[in-house]
Amino acid sequence: MTTDKVRYVYRAFITLKNGRRVYARQYGKRAFRIPINDEG
C-alpha cells in the first residue's frame, strides 16, 4: 500500500517548453508554488 504525499517547492521563475522564462514577479507573485509527489 502506497501513500501519495505532496510537497511543494517555490521558484522565482519557471521555464516554458519553448525555452522562455516566466518570472513570478510579472504576475505580482514572489514565487511559483510547484507540487512534487512523494510516494512513501
**Can you give the pLDDT at residue 16?**
96
Q: Say what the pLDDT of residue 38 is.
A: 78
Mean pLDDT per 10-residue interval, the chain, length 40 residues: 79 97 97 87
Per-residue pLDDT, 40 = 59
CA distance 15 to 32: 11
**Can you give the pTM of this predicted structure?**
0.70
List the end-to-end C-alpha distance of the chain, in Å, as a whole number.
9
